Amino acid sequence: MDAKKIKKWTSNIVTSILFIVLIVMIFVVISSKASGGEPQAFGYQLKTVLSGSMEPGIKTGSIIAVKPGGDMTRFKKGDVITFKSEDNVIVTHRIAKVIKTGGQVSYQTKGDNNKTADLNPVLSNNVIAEYSGFTIPYLGYFADFTKSKIGGSLLLLLPGLVLLAYASISIWKTVSQLENKGNKVAEIESTDKSV
């Protein structure tokens, strides 16, 4: 491959990546606003981990994917669930014990990094979702920033501005190349006339 083809391929790849990033960012912001602050994709919710109770498997500041819905009495010991605590705080912990009393199911939960189990059992009605096993370390800090007004605006504007700047540079280079070709043609024509 010659240098021109490599430059063209690189240019096309960079443009495509910037466009995809812009579309993804728009999707994340819109889905986040539509779902009340929690982005969703393909039936999964993305949650930010705010504590180190599940380390080392789930680090503080990670983004995790959880699957909401279904029968919340189906879980067994060892499953990781996301639930609403009595203080209305969203928590993701591992089930240490399943407690069945009458027709009611509750779970004794514990953070992997905690020495003791959680104080109160979790009623199956308070379970929101099951942890899918998917985590992206430290991206939660960025996600929290994007939930702010400034962060959400920057998330939409920056990829668009970068794409616009890249397109402007590409157009400027193309116009410069056309002008150079025009000047060379004019020089050749004037040389031919003088001969």
pLDDT of residue 76: 94
Enter the tokens of residue 13: 């790849």
Burial class (CB in 10 A: 0-12, 13-18, 19+), 31: middle
Buried b (16+ CB within 10 A) or exposed e, 50-88: eeebbeeebebbbbbbbbeeeebeebeeeebbbbeeeee
132 catalytic? Reply is no
pLDDT of residue 140: 72
Contact 96, 117 (CB under 8 A): yes
Q: Which residues are paired to 5 by β-bridges?
A: none
Residues 6+ apart with CB under 8 A from 42: none
Mean residue pLDDT across the chain:
80
Q: What is the pLDDT along the chain (195 residues), one digit of tens a residue?
A: 677 788 778 877 877 887 777 677 666 666 665 655 566 667 788 888 888 899 888 888 888 889 998 899 999 999 999 999 888 888 999 999 999 988 899 999 999 999 999 999 999 999 999 999 888 887 777 766 666 777 767 766 777 777 788 778 878 888 887 777 766 655 665 655 555
pLDDT of residue 189: 59
Active-site residue (options: 11, 51, 85, 132): 51
H helix or E strand, kind and range, residue 137:
none
Contact 104, 96 (CB under 8 A): no
pLDDT in tens, 123-160: 999 999 999 988 888 777 776 666 677 776 776 677 77
pLDDT of residue 108: 96
